Amino acid sequence: GLQRVLRPGRIGRLPLPHRIVMGAMHLGWENRDDDGRALAAFYLARVRGGAGLMVTGGAAVSAAGADVPGYGVLDDPAFRARLRRVAGEVGVAGGLLALQLFHAGRYARPAAGGPRPVAPSAVPSPISRLTPDTLSAAGVSRIVEDFARGAHHARELGFSAVEIMGSEGYLIDQFLSPLTNRRDDEWGGDPQRRMRFGVAVVRAVREAVGTDFPVVMRMTGDDLLPGGTDRDTVAEYARALAAAGADALNVGVGWHESPTPTVQAVVPPGHWVPVASAVKAAVGALPVLASNRINRLAQAEAILAGTPLDLISMARPFLADPALIERSRAGRPVNICVACNQACIDRSLVGAAVSCMVNPLVGREADPEFEAEREDRAAPATQAEPGVRAAPSGQVGPVVRVGSVAVREPRTVAVVGAGPAGLRAARDLALAGHRVTVYEADREPGGQFRLACRVPGKADYAETIRFLTAELTRLGVVLHTGRPVAGADEGLLRRYDGIIVATGVVPRRVDLPGGALPHVRDYGAAFTDDALGPRVAVIGGGGIAVDLAHLASQPGAGRPRQVTVLLRGERLGPRMGRSTRWAVLAELRRRQVAVVSGVRDLRIDTDAVHLVDGTGAARSVPADTVVIAAGQLPADGLVRTVRRTGVWHRVVGGARDTTGLDAVRAFAEGHAAALAF
């Protein structure tokens, strides 16, 4: 059950419908010149999906506090006008929106000609590679006033609450930490004086909004920095924030520069709950929120059951599934956030608009096609599918006519391949009211995701497949598994009005001396093979080679395995996401995976791989299993046949092109093909 999570809650005088708060996310279109339309649509979609209190991405309280060029600044009347529209529309829809008051301090990456970053002390930022200017005492007081003015704006613009951004290493944290606050004045010198800035901000914000307006303080429970703020100081700080007028403490973990991963898939779900619990223990009755790596309501329920924590903050899960709350409440499959960071955090880091790998509609909530997603809340009427009978291998559901959605004339579509691209295309075609039949050669749907979900930290990829196949069932899509489609099926394909070719990829073969030996396998086989030897050599340097090394480095049959990655280039996983690569490579190091770069002249024999390494030295790497992970080629054998049929078609995902292929692109192409039909 979800009784604890779905029980009403409260922050100050603000009643909450349940115990989940949507955490702040910088979306990258906060400042788009569209009168706030796209931003409002983003939040409204979450309101319709059952979200309670939602926190906006940061709104800078002054120009110097903006994080990146284009960031919204509260002094800008145009930005405020957009926010007014957003707050108004969310309010009318019955939603609750908190404005996050933000100052980046030394993390700021100003536009050319923009104001210089400021901070308590001139400690260089590894994020911006800039050294901030030291604030004068008067400058510090001015920023306290900026926060108060921002809070006043929030109330006046129609927001339901404010959250003060005091975590993740931004300005307020920079005052708290001895690493970044080297002052010896009113604002620094010992823990009590370093706390003063955050406390002064809370007090000023409280004064600006009055006693009845909810004020949430986002604080860092553990900065994960050697020499950073110690636990006793964090507890004392939490009590001081409460005394200054905070109605709730939202506990973050880590700074952006911390060497410990906090939100990557390699971090076990719920890992940081004890950090929030420690803050809760310090403040007693005051509501405390846990956050980071909590991606499903069942897990939130377990946290609320097992700790005195009051509320759970979830952010990325609301990108992956705007209807997270409603679907969970109804016991329906949820599109789970898999913590890949590929379309959200990695894009945000470079100042681009975020999206979501498993939900390409993020950022397009104002587009007409998003209307189809609204159907989630209505019970669709069903009717029998005319003319198509189920094959014995397939699962058959009723065809769904989508109630409120204006459907074009329903037509029949064949989707060949049930990997990410094919599943997404089939689901979105069915959602638009078409009659869809999926043919999958494998015994199970999922494609490359079925391999990925075996990698440590990627088990949730199986949830993506489960969600999409459940959607196919709900929408009456006919799924034939164990049914390859080949040239001989031209007649079958001609019977459809449209064909989506989503046949995926095949491993690239490389011609190496010894490559035909029985202990040499391609990565596809290796992913599903439980019989890897105790010494595994992986040949390849891309993301798949990294995943395989990670998988193989788990002990086999209780015995540790020695894994060696042999790559031609210098850089392992060069195309992996910026937020993820370092964390996974650290994990490989921890598991003592050896990496040999710049290899050439490879030759495989029965118990070793012989090579010349980057230094020019001849080496032999002992190996009982050799895995070739040297890239992929499109599995596009069907394309010629499909072209011959003359039927409308699209080739999507890896079947179209494997250059730069990732799952973000595969899902997006599946979705786009469905729209194009």
> What minimum distance in Å lies between the beta carbon of 342 and ligand SF4?
5
Number of H helices, E strands in the chain: 20, 29
Applying CB under 6 A, among 125, 342, 579, 658 the residue interacting with ligand SF4 is 342
Site string for ligand SF4, 288-317 (x = CB under 6 A): ----------------------------x-
> What minimum distance in Å lies between the beta carbon of 664 and ligand SF4?
7
In the three-class reduction of DSSP (H, G, I as helix; E, B as strand; rest coil), residue 25 is classed as: coil
340 binds ligand SF4, rule: CB under 6 A:
yes
> What minimum distance in Å lies between the beta carbon of 343 and ligand SF4?
4
48 binds ligand SF4, rule: CB under 6 A:
no
358 binds ligand SF4, rule: CB under 6 A:
yes
CB atoms within 10 A of CB 573: 22
End-to-end CA distance of the chain: 41
Q: Candidates 153-161, 267-275, 334-342, 372-380 — which segment interacts with ligand SF4 by CB under 6 A?
A: 334-342
453 binds ligand SF4, rule: CB under 6 A:
no
668 binds ligand SF4, rule: CB under 6 A:
no
343 binds ligand SF4, rule: CB under 6 A:
yes
Q: Which amino acid is at 260?
A: T
Q: DSSP secondary-structure letter at 186?
A: T
Q: Candidates 172-180, 279-287, 354-362, 471-479 — which segment interacts with ligand SF4 by CB under 6 A?
A: 354-362
> What minimum distance in Å lies between the beta carbon of 337 and ligand SF4?
3
Residue with token string 């004068």: 136
357 binds ligand SF4, rule: CB under 6 A:
yes
Q: Is the dihedral of CA 423, 424, 430, 431 positive or negative?
A: positive
Contacts (Cβ under 8 Å, ≥6 apart) of 371: 404, 405
**Active site (annotated) includes residue 523:** no
Q: Candidates 335-343, 408-416, 512-520, 583-591 — which segment interacts with ligand SF4 by CB under 6 A?
A: 335-343
Q: What is the dihedral of CA 206, 207, 210, 213, to 10 degrees?
A: -20
> What minimum distance in Å lies between the beta carbon of 448 and ligand SF4?
15
339 binds ligand SF4, rule: CB under 6 A:
yes
477 binds ligand SF4, rule: CB under 6 A:
no
How many residues in the shown chain lie near ligand SF4 by CB under 6 A?
Answer: 14
> What minimum distance in Å lies between the beta carbon of 312 and ligand SF4?
16
Put residue 447 in one of left, alpha, beta given phi > 0 → left and psi -120 to 50 → alpha.
left
> CA 281, CA 211: separation in Å to the nearest integer?
25
Tell me which of 107, 170, 237, 439 is the catalytic residue: 170
341 binds ligand SF4, rule: CB under 6 A:
yes
Q: Which is nearer to ligand SF4, 205 or 358 (CB)?
A: 358
583 binds ligand SF4, rule: CB under 6 A:
no
**What residues pair up with 53 in beta bridges, in sequence order?**
96
Q: Which is nearer to ligand SF4, 580 or 641 (CB)?
A: 580
Q: Which is nearer to ligand SF4, 160 or 580 (CB)?
A: 580
Q: Which tokens go with 394?
A: 């397939």
319 binds ligand SF4, rule: CB under 6 A:
yes
324 binds ligand SF4, rule: CB under 6 A:
no
**What residues pair up with 472 in beta bridges, in sequence order?**
none
Q: DSSP secondary-structure letter at 73?
A: B
> CA 676, CA 666: separation in Å to the nearest integer?
15
576 binds ligand SF4, rule: CB under 6 A:
no
> CA 550, CA 277: separation in Å to the nearest integer?
31
**410 touches 498 (CB < 8 A):** no
In SS3 terms, 123-179 reads as CCCCCCCCCCEECCHHHHHHHHHHHHHHHHHHHHHCCCEEEEEECCCCHHHHHHCCC
**What residues pair up with 600 in beta bridges, in sequence order?**
612
> What minimum distance in Å lies between the beta carbon of 353 and ligand SF4?
12
Q: Can you give the binding site for ligand SF4, defined by CB under 6 A?
A: 316, 319-320, 337-344, 356-358
Any idea which residues carry the catalytic annotation? 170
